[in-house]
Amino acid sequence: MTITLTQGILIAVWAMIAGLDCWLQAFFIFRPIIVCTITGLILGDLQLGVIAGGLTELAFAGLTPAGGTQPPNTVLCGIMTVVIAATNHTAPATAIGLSLPFAMLMQYVLLFFYSSFSLFMPRFDKYAEEGNAKAFKRLNFVPLTIVVIAFGLVAFLSAYAAQAPMHALVNSMPHWLTHGFELAGGILPAVGFAMLLKVMLKPQYMPYLVLGFVMASMIPFSNVLPVALVGGVFAAIEYFRTRENNDLQNKIKELESQSKGDGMDDGI
């Protein structure tokens, strides 16, 4: 398929909205599962957007900015995964690998903003010293506007303006290279999930992991929604059990403190 100008503009607008949320970390609509789904809806292939979103979300599950370590941008990766898969008729797993250069480009742009926006700090300090709250607030919108425009511009150029060169590049790739991207894209979700488990997994949660693996791998069913629902049930059970234990411990501490206080009063 060919992306029309209207679709390119809609993708740019969506990139601006998701990019603003990515910068502010407010509603988390910048996650690939949402970005890919909305992009697929814009391109008229919602199913492709959902499938690509699930794979890309798993790939980025364990990638979190920490200090100087900055992973590829999730917004551009999500958008370009769906765009490449839709326009070049490639598998979503292959499109993930092909979308990473665009995601890394956007992340480099953001890294440039991180450094260059320090030029606004003297003016912020000046307005703070003067007590000029209105000017201080207005100045906050300048970097936000720059970031939003950058997201929209990069997304529009990548999705609409560069679709012909991207189509030619994908078609010129030999089969072994395309297959390599497909394998790499298939491995990325497993790597992202493994990185997430490395941080979150605890010995007491190991039975849940084994149960989910058995259900997903050895029980035939048409989709993984039952596994997700069972996981949600176990998460709710664990949540309420932990809350009850915490309440019980707090009550025990209160009783101990009261008993110590009564003993001191008796002594006096």
Count: domains in the chain: 2
Say yes or no: 194 and 205 in one domain.
no
Say yes or no: 87 and 211 in one domain.
no
Say yes or no: 130 and 243 in one domain.
no
More confident residue, 47 or 260: 47
Which of residues 200, 219, 246 is at a domain's end? 200
pLDDT in tens, 120-162: 889 988 988 888 888 888 898 999 999 999 999 999 988 888 7
Domain enclosing residue 122, as ranges: 5-200
Say yes or no: 191 and 81 in one domain.
yes
Say yes or no: 157 and 239 in one domain.
no
Q: What's the confidence (pLDDT) of residue 192?
A: 67
Confidence of residue 7 (pLDDT cuts 50, 70, 90): very high
Closest CA to 15 of 202, 149, 195, 121: 149
Say yes or no: 156 and 225 in one domain.
no
When pLDDT is averaged across residues 240-262 and rounded to a whole number, the result is: 81
Which of residues 145, 179, 200 is at a domain's end? 200
Q: What's the confidence (pLDDT) of residue 184?
A: 67
- pLDDT above 70: residue 265: no
Spatial separation of the C-alpha atoms in residues 62 and 105, rounded to whole Å: 20
- pLDDT above 50: residue 268: no
What is the pTM for the complete model shown? 0.70
Three-class SS of residue 207?
Answer: helix
Q: At CA 60, angle to CA 106 and CA 169, rounded to 5? A: 55
- pLDDT above 80: residue 195: no
Which of residues 183, 200, 217 is at a domain's end? 200
Say yes or no: 111 and 208 in one domain.
no
Say yes or no: 144 and 36 in one domain.
yes
Say yes or no: 167 and 48 in one domain.
yes
When pLDDT is averaged across residues 76-88 and rounded to a whole number, the result is: 90
Contact 111, 68 (CB under 8 A): no
Look-up of token digits 């598998």: 91
More confident residue, 44 or 261: 44
Q: At CA 38, angle to CA 37 and CA 39, rounded to 5? A: 90
When pLDDT is averaged across residues 53-59 and rounded to a whole number, the result is: 84
Say yes or no: 180 and 108 in one domain.
yes
When pLDDT is averaged across residues 15-27 and rounded to a whole number, the result is: 90
**What is the longest distance spanned by two Cα atoms in the chain?**
91
Say yes or no: 152 and 34 in one domain.
yes
Q: Which residues contact 87 (CB under 8 A, 6 or more apart)?
A: 1, 2, 3, 163, 166, 167
Q: Which two tokens stand for residue 86?
A: 């839709």
Q: What's the confidence (pLDDT) of residue 63?
A: 67
- pLDDT above 90: residue 211: no
pLDDT in tens, 112-125: 888 888 898 899 88
Confidence of residue 263 (pLDDT cuts 50, 70, 90): low
Say yes or no: 166 and 221 in one domain.
no
